[in-house]
Amino acid sequence: MKNLLKLEEAAMFGLSLYLLGSMNAEWWLYLLLLLGPDISMLGYLGGNKTGAICYNIFHHKGVAIAVFMAGLLLPNTLFEVTGIILYGHSSMDRMFGYGLKTEEGFKYTHLGIIGKK
C-alpha cells in the first residue's frame, strides 16, 4: 500500500509540473521556491508544537489549493504559481515519506515515523 501512495504522490507532483508548464511559469521561479516551504522548519526553534504548526501550514495541500484558488479569483498569477508550487512540494515530500508533523517532534508524521523501516 505504501508504494501505491508514493505513486499517487508522484502523479500529483507531476501534475504540478505540468500545470506550471502550461502556465508558462518561469522555471527559475519554481526552482527557487521548490524548497521554500522548508523554511517553515525554523518554527521548531520555538518547540515541537510551534514547529509542527508552522511546518503543517506550509505543507498542507488544502492551504496550497486555497492559495491557488485565491489566485484564480483575484486574479493573481503569483498566487496561482505559489499554490501550485506548495502543492507540488507537499506531494514531493510525501513521496519521500515526509508527512504532516505531530507535536511529538519532527520525525513523527501522519505517515509514520521518518526513517523507520
Domains of the chain, residue spans: 2-113
For 54-92, what is each residue's pLDDT tens digit? 999 999 999 999 999 999 999 999 999 999 999 999 999
For residues 67 and 86, what is the distance between their CA atoms, to the nearest angstrom?
Answer: 9
CB 90 within 8 Å of CB 59: yes
- pTM for the model: 0.90
Is the confidence at residue 35, as pLDDT, over 90?
Answer: no
Cα 103 versus chain centre, distance? 18
CA dihedral 109, 42, 40, 35 (to 10 degrees): -100
